[in-house]
Structure 1
């Protein structure tokens, strides 16, 4: 079956897990939360074992994945086998492995596939096979006219009430960025103290222009201001931020720019691609400047691979100083002469 991410979370809240899930789309926050809902439900059902196969700029070990499907669980009756496909394309070998799994799904495996890119062109027999035995959930980009409703529903889910003007202010501030909106709403849940939010209250709680946040950091980096980006990163660290909390937005924006570079290279409509990704006109200038400095999609693929490596560092899955590596990546993006820092 096909379910929207929010309906997926509601559907599995008190139900058994299906043999397979494919969760994909450009709205990274919704993909992450839907996948987390599957993992959480798995833990509630006693599924303690989890194995991850991550593309991370190279080919997945599809033979290893097949072997994992065939091997018995070591520590629990069932396990989650997670496959991360940033491009949403498993290739011929991967499609065959996934289709074979769906033809005869093992009793002890729940297959969870997540992808950062998705369109009708990504659909294939392997995705149809997953939909027949499990769930396909696509997190389509939230359109500008839909954002107010999404924000209102998110506020309500956190026990908050806000009037129309207050919601409009929050929508304007986050500029279509769902992760930014979610973070602001989580902050409001802590600060609002149960009071209804009007325009004045919302302004006092969210309008902190002096704060160095990750969204301004990314905009500054894409715009090419290396010195300012470095200073902002220092400010974030001083405020107690951790790299792991910054990386979802860094990865998302680097992936978005990499896709824009691919569209530009093949002579496609970059403006239409930006619109399709939900990059509002007011946010497009930094992306355009970044593409002028680094026109090669291969270079952006290097940036994506490095961002993935830093994310693993931040989570303790790779060696190295994540703060130093992140600064080098941001400087390489902001200043074309510094690309060697991530070589």
Structure 2
């Protein structure tokens, strides 16, 4: 059963035999695991065994731990980490067999990275999911992050003015751990006083974290302020320019294919499946196709090619030119910037 982290507390009394915590957000993973362990302790689970699937891992050891009697007559937790979320044939068979041997004195917690559909459709996962709880720990974005932020502000009892809330959102979107630590600090510094953006600005520096995929989504949606902020953050974090150029090339090439097909009278509905564009991303591409012309997309691809040549032939990482390219996702920018030559 899939349960999101904010709903997990409702699934802890009584506990299910198994909890699957998978995702790449460290704060959500650790918080979810801590919630489960705290509830387990209240229900008599006092011992913990930690196992990690590494090279040469013996799956028989997990089977033995599941069947073993506790030395101290208390209930036990087994924490199993799957670094690649791929238990293999032997591991898959072992995991499927465990819950076929019910043991009310054992609780299994499995954690690992974000799962792909290949893994959630596997026999071992479906077997455990049918008797347990799956907690996807994926970093919330946009409105979901705002809801998470508001819930944590309420949790810490903070009195933040609207401008301070907006600043927290801008500073920490994509970094739940840093955001939570920031609010803990605010609770210590100003436990009762209303806090505005001015006071907040004195406490914190910009610690938001973004990926190249979030950057391209912002560009497709023409959210220029957000995109430029993300680009500055990625630069500051040392993100390699070839990765950013690869991502921009990928999106621009796809836009060119879609726009060219449209010009020949092909409907978008037939193009979505051909190019494997998910429902969630369709509005982003539709918006970009509506506002950008074919010559504008071709010009952007040419600009990206020049940036790549400068990088490969001269070793020049021109972040100003990369910012220039990102601005061109707004058709209004073409009027003022498209004539500028890159050297």
TM-score normalised by L of structure 1: 0.60
Match of 1:89 among 86, 89, 98: 86
Moved more, 147-156 or 197-206: 197-206
What is the aligned partner in structure 2 of residue 54 from structure 1? 52
SS in 1 for 2:138: coil
Cα distance change of structure 1 residues 291 and 22 upon mapping to structure 2, 3 Å threshold: farther
Matched, 1:11 2:8: no
Structure 1: state its 5+ residue gaps: 210-214, 220-252, 254-269, 293-343
**What residue is the counterpart of 1:204 in the other structure?**
202
The higher radius of gyration belongs to 2
Q: Distance in 1 between matches of 2:132 and 2:163?
A: 41
Q: In the aligned structure 1, how far is the partner of 2:88 from the partner of 2:19?
A: 18
Kindly indicate whether residue 233 of structure 2 is the aligned counterpart of residue 283 of structure 1. yes
Identify the residue that residue 23 of structure 2 maps to in structure 1.
Answer: 25
> Following the alignment from structure 1 to structure 2, what is the Cα–Cα distance between the partners of residues 171 and 125?
40
Gaps in structure 2 of 5+ consecutive residues: 218-226, 244-343
Cα distance, 1:196 vs. partner?
A: 2.2
Are 1:148 and 2:146 counterparts?
Answer: yes
> Contact between 1:31 and 1:139, CA under 8 Å: does it hold in 2?
yes
Supply the distance in 2 between the matched residues of 1:271 and 1:197 (Cα, whole angstroms): 33
Residue 282 of structure 1 and its aligned partner are, at CA, apart by 4.0
Task: Give the TM-score of the pair, scaled to structure 2.
Answer: 0.60
**2:116 counterpart of 1:119:** yes
Q: Is the contact made by 1:86 and 1:115 (CA closer than 8 Å) also made in structure 2?
A: yes
Measured in 2, the distance between the counterparts of 1:74 and 1:58 equals: 29
Hey, what's the Cα distance between the residues in 2 that align with 1:9 and 1:274? 33
Q: CA RMSD in A?
A: 2.8
User: Equivalents in 1 of 2:105, 2:166: separation in Å?
Assistant: 47
Q: Per the alignment, in what secondary structure is the counterpart of residue 103 of structure 1?
A: coil
User: Does 1:80 pair with 2:77?
Assistant: yes
**How far apart are residue 291 of structure 1 and its match?**
7.9
CA gap 1:182/1:125 in 2 versus in 1, 3 angstroms = same
Looking at structure 1, the residues matched to 31 and 176 of structure 2 have their Cα atoms a distance apart, in angstroms, of 12
Q: Distance in 1 between matches of 2:102 and 2:231?
A: 45
Return closer, same or farther for 1:118/1:283 CA change in 2, 3 Å cut-off. farther
1: distance between equivalents of 2:50 and 2:136?
Answer: 21
Q: Per-residue CA shift, 1:14-58, capped at 9, x if unaligned?
A: x12111110111222111101111111111122111100023x53
Could you tell me whether the CA contact under 8 Å between 2:17 and 2:108 is conserved in 1? Answer: yes
Residues 190 and 275 (structure 1), Cα distance of their counterparts in 2 relative to 1, 3 Å cut: farther
Structure 2 CA distance, aligned partners of 1:39 and 1:275?
38
Name the CA distance, whole Å, in 2 between partners of 1:99 and 1:21: 14
Matches within 5 A, 1:1-343: 1-12=1-12, 15-55=13-53, 58-123=55-120, 124-207=122-205, 271-272=212-213, 280-285=230-235, 286=237, 288-289=239-240
Deviations 1:306-337 (A, max 9, x none): xxxxxxxxxxxxxxxxxxxxxxxxxxxxxxxx
Deviations, residues 165-198 of structure 1 (Å, cap 9, x unaligned)? 1012112222421111011011111111212222
Contact 1:274 1:284 in 2 (8 A): no
